[in-house]
């Protein structure tokens, strides 16, 4: 069974020609659309120049016709006639040859009438100087608008040589074309063989690839817009019409697999991506690191072009990527060890549930950082930990130790003093105390020493406390950079599309067909085989 696929893709930037022919077609398209744009804007001279240049580069008759229309708009009858005549000369079998001949005749008639009118013009006066040849007043046929531009339609088949027949809908109320039927309101405008480069008027056409060798006939509708290049390609081996699927997502560069949930083959493409695929029901898996995989189904009719716009949700975890100015740091998140990072190593990645988490970073000789860090969903948050050295406590410790020594000594000698005093008091009570008792002097000095020791210990304790508390250095801190997307081992890092606030879009959106001709990948998921596709 013979199949014909017609599709359309929108963003031209995403579909680059892959081969010289495609590049040539792209050049034709660019030239054609440029001239069309100037024409619509009223810059007929510029448009004519572009069409002329287009023809010089790509000798397609459509350029000649469109240039003639521009000259006609400029009342440059001679040049308009020349272009129309060149058009017929180059493409004598043009389906609209009759119309062009009529246009030529009308222009020539108008030109003749203008010349006659110039002969009967009265003399303006003897003093008026030498008479000037009168400028002919050409009456240009009206009714040319932006639809007057002709478009180039490229029809190819695989294999070449398939007979083609083009039907134009001439009545707007005509029923859809049905092969083999009378098809009132449709006009058979052309019969040729593929490949064919056709210059067609704006309108609705039906392309029929007639029975060819072992291939069955197939058909497709086609809208020809003004000043465009349309391409149709028929894969005669498919036996069915191809459909066109474009998958886009809120993440550019997400990987798409079609009918390959286990990802056993190469990816179908990266969002946004579109190409011809067989009609029917397809499983589409869209996946990118940092986002939950999305598996959905899409139903495509033969010849249908559909855009699947999916919205990926970020995973509910993120990664904190630690590094530091310290030679080595130990990282805990929610009091759970997450590893050790050393200078010169790759940053330490810690996968953590998204949300706010308590992060503790410690390093020998530096102040421990403890604080809350927000872990983004499905992203990597680089955390640069600035570990501040601990303020040296050596003097404080020295003071504390010396103070403690003084305190201990004071307690000892104070206790001794009390003991001696108690002894002396007991001896006094017993009547044995002599005034020169050495314990009196000793106890007195002990008391003095104890008081001095307590005083010094208090002073040193105070100084030590102050020095323990004093810390002119700031605390350790963290600085989080802008979150990064997860590393994608399959390619360069993807770029998330800017989140748009507002009503959540539907996961699948069918978009209207684009009228612009685009090039894009043309490999099907199934791999080889002949195909015919069209992009508009």
Q: Which residues bind other proteins (CB under 8 A)?
A: 410-411, 413-415, 417-418, 421, 423-425, 427-429, 431-440, 443-444, 446-448, 450-451, 454
Strand-pair category, 151-158 with 229-235: parallel
| Backbone dihedral region for residue 55 (phi beyond 0: left; psi -120 to 50: alpha; all else: beta) | alpha
Helix (H, G, I), strand (E, B) or coil at 321: strand
Write down the least CB distance from residue 355 to other proteins, Å: 41
Residue 316 burial (CB count, 10 A): 12
Q: 40-63: b or e for each residue (b if 16 or more CB lie within 10 Å)?
A: eeeebebbbebbbebbeebebbbb
- Shortest reach from residue 430's CB to other proteins, in Å: 8
Q: Which of 104, 98, 60, 55 is nearest to 80 (CA)?
A: 104
Nearest CB to other proteins, comparing residues 130 and 431? 431
Least separation in angstroms between CB 438 and other proteins: 5
Q: How far is the CB of 456 from other proteins (least distance, A)?
A: 12
Residue 31 contacts residue 54 (beta carbons within 8 Å): yes
Q: Which residue lies nearer to other proteins by CB, 299 or 434?
A: 434
* Nearer residue to other proteins within complex by CB, 202 or 447: 447
Residue 246 in tokens: 């474009």
Give the separation between CA 217 and CA 213, rounded to whole angstroms: 10
Q: Which is nearer to other proteins, 171 or 434 (CB)?
A: 434
Structure tokens at 286: 């869209």
Closest distance to other proteins from the beta carbon of 397 (Å): 21
Q: In whole angstroms, how large is the CA radius of gyration of the chain?
A: 45
Cβ burial of 363 (10 Å; 0-12, 13-18, 19+) is buried
**Nearer Cβ to other proteins (289/414):** 414
With CA atoms as reference, report the closest residue to 194 among 166, 220, 225. 166
Chain-centroid distance of CA 457 in Å reads: 71
What gap in Å lies between CA 247 and CA 184, rounded to an integer?
A: 38
What is the Cα–Cα distance from 316 to 437, expressed in whole angstroms? 85
**H-type alpha helices, 120-201:** none
> What's 492's DSSP letter?
S
- Tell me the pairing of strands 348-353 and 355-362: unpaired
CB of 458 to other proteins, least distance (A): 9
Least distance to other proteins from the beta carbon of 477, Å? 35
C-beta of 102 vs 426, nearer to other proteins: 426
- Smallest gap from residue 385 Cβ to other proteins (A): 37
- Half-sphere exposure of 447 toward its Cβ, with a 13 Å CA cutoff? 11
| Cβ-based nearer residue to other proteins, 379 or 417 | 417
Which is closer to other proteins, CB of 412 or CB of 468? 412
Residue with tokens 């998921």: 525
Question: Do 206 and 177 meet the contact criterion of CB atoms below 8 Å apart?
Answer: yes
Helix axes 44-57, 20-40, angle to 10 degrees: 160
- Pick between residue 332 and residue 442 the one whose CB is nearest to other proteins: 442
Q: Which is nearer to other proteins, 40 or 447 (CB)?
A: 447
Question: How near is the Cβ of 373 to other proteins at its closest, in Å?
Answer: 37
Report d(CA 56, CA 48) in Å as an integer: 12
Taking the complex as a whole, the smallest distance from the CB of residue 415 to other proteins amounts, in Å, to 7
- In angstroms, give the least distance from the CB of 393 to other proteins: 23
Q: Which is nearer to other proteins, 317 or 412 (CB)?
A: 412
User: How many other CB atoms are there within 10 angstroms of residue 337's CB atom?
Assistant: 11
């Amino acid at each position: 069974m013979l199949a014909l696929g017609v599709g359309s893709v929108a963003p031209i930037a995403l579909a680059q020609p892959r081969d010289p022919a495609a590049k040539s077609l792209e050049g034709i398209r660019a030239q054609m659309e440029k001239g069309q744009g100037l024409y619509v804007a009223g810059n007929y001279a510029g448009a004519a120049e572009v069409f002329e240049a287009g023809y010089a580069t790509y000798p397609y008759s459509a350029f000649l016709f469109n240039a003639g229309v521009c000259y006609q708009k400029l009342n440059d009858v001679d040049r308009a006639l020349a272009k129309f005549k060149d058009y017929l000369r180059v493409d004598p079998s043009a389906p609209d040859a009759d119309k062009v001949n009529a246009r030529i005749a009308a222009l020539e008639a108008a030109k003749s009438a203008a010349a006659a009118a110039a002969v009967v013009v009265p003399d303006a006066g003897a003093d008026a100087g030498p008479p000037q040849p009168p400028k002919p007043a050409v009456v240009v046929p009206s009714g040319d608008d932006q639809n007057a531009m002709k478009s180039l339609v490229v029809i190819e088949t695989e294999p070449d040589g398939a007979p083609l027949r083009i039907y134009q809908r001439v009545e707007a109320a005509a029923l859809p074309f049905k092969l083999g039927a009378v098809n009132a309101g449709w006009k058979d405008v052309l019969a040729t063989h593929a490949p064919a480069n056709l210059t067609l008027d704006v309108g609705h056409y039906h392309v029929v690839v007639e029975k060819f060798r072992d291939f069955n006939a197939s058909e497709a509708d086609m809208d020809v817009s003004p000043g465009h290049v349309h391409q149709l390609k028929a894969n005669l081996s498919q036996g069915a019409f191809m459909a066109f699927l474009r998958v886009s997502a809120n993440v550019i560069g997400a990987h798409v697999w079609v009918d390959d949930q286990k990802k056993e083959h190469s990816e179908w493409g990266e969002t946004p991506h579109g190409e011809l695929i067989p009609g029917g029901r397809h499983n589409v898996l869209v996946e990118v690191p940092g986002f939950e995989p999305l598996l959905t189904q899409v139903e495509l009719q033969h010849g249908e072009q559909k855009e699947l716009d999916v919205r990926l949700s970020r995973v509910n975890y993120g990664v904190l990527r630690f590094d530091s100015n310290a030679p080595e740091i130990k990282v805990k998140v929610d009091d759970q060890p997450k590893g050790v990072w050393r200078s010169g190593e790759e940053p330490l990645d810690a996968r953590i549930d998204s949300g706010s988490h308590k992060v503790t970073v410690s390093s020998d000789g530096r102040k421990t950082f403890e604080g809350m860090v927000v872990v983004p969903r499905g992203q990597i948050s680089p955390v640069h930990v600035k570990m501040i050295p601990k303020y040296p406590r050596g003097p404080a410790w020295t003071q504390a130790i010396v103070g403690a020594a003084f305190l201990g000594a004071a307690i000892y000698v104070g206790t001794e003093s009390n003991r001696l005093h108690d002894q002396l008091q007991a001896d006094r009570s017993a009547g044995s105390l002599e005034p020169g008792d050495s314990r009196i002097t000793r106890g007195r000095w002990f008391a003095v020493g104890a008081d001095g020791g307590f005083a010094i210990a208090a002073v040193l304790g105070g100084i030590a406390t102050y020095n323990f508390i004093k810390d002119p250095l700031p605390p350790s801190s963290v600085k989080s950079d802008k979150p990064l997307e997860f590393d994608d081992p399959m390619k360069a890092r993807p770029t998330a599309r800017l989140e748009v606030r507002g009503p959540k879009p539907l996961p699948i959106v069918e978009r209207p067909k684009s009228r612009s001709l685009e090039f894009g990948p043309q490999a099907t998921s199934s791999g080889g085989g002949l195909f015919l596709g069209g992009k508009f």
